[in-house]
């Protein structure tokens, strides 16, 4: 059965629960896995990634999952794949005044792919499909820019 954009192939809903252990240190559980989340403070260094660190990691890992799935589906061989996710936010105001807002200036994803394939149309389809299929990227798509490098050259999708 072929699905259109109006007929969802699947609907995913996942929940994460975070509990403060002490200060900025949190215990988080999602999909049956637990992990720590932390922030630096004046009193001590962080012992785990920040929430934004996990968000960036999730975007990068999800892109790699979708690159692998799309490459398999289209029969594109690759020798190396890497994704880097970066973000830039600005915090305006402060907590003490109750007037604080965080603005996202940029979410950038760089996908690096090395492949012996020379069919640019096939490569483009794999990258486009993987980008469109990324659940994590869809969460921040309003802010995200995705750039591609294939065999050490910028590549346009």
Structure token digits, residue 56: 């960036």
Stretch (H or E) spanning 123: helix 120-133
Please tell me the distance from the alpha carbon of residue 45 to that of residue 22, in angstroms, as a whole number: 13
Structure token digits, residue 112: 């690096």
Q: Is the pLDDT of residue 3 over 70?
A: no
Mean pLDDT of the chain: 90
Q: Locate all alpha helices (DSSP H) within the chain, ordered by sequence.
A: 51-74, 120-133, 135-139
Question: Mind listing the pLDDT tens digit for each residue in 57-103?
Answer: 999 999 999 999 999 999 999 999 999 999 998 899 988 888 999 88
Between residues 3 and 102, which one has the greater pLDDT?
A: 102
Q: Under DSSP, is residue 119 helix (H, G, I), strand (E, B) or coil?
A: coil
Sheet holding 80-94, edge to edge: 80-94, 99-114, 144-150, 153-155
Q: Is the pLDDT of residue 11 over 80?
A: no
Between residues 31 and 122, which one has the greater pLDDT?
A: 122
pTM of the model: 0.84
Buried b (16+ CB within 10 A) or exposed e, 30-57: eeeeeeebbbeeeeeeeebbeeeebbbe
Q: What does the pLDDT read at residue 69?
A: 97
Question: Mind listing the pLDDT tens digit for each residue in 114-142?
Answer: 999 999 999 999 999 999 999 999 888 77
């Amino acid at each position: 059965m072929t699905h259109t954009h109006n007929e969802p192939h699947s609907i995913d809903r996942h929940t994460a629960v975070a509990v403060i252990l002490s200060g900025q240190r949190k215990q988080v559980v999602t999909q049956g896995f637990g992990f720590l989340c932390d922030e630096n403070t004046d009193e001590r260094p962080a012992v785990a990634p920040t929430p934004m660190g996990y968000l960036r990691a999730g975007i990068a890992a999800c892109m790699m999952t979708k690159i692998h799935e799309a490459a398999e589906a289209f029969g594109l061989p690759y020798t190396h794949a890497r994704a880097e996710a970066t973000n830039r936010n600005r915090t305006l105001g402060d907590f003490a005044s109750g007037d604080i807002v965080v603005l996202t200036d940029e979410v950038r994803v760089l996908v690096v792919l090395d492949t012996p394939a020379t069919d640019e149309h096939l490569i483009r389809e794999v990258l486009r499909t993987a980008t469109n299929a990324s659940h994590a990227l869809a969460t921040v798509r309003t802010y995200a820019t995705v750039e591609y490098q294939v065999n050490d050259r910028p590549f346009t999708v």
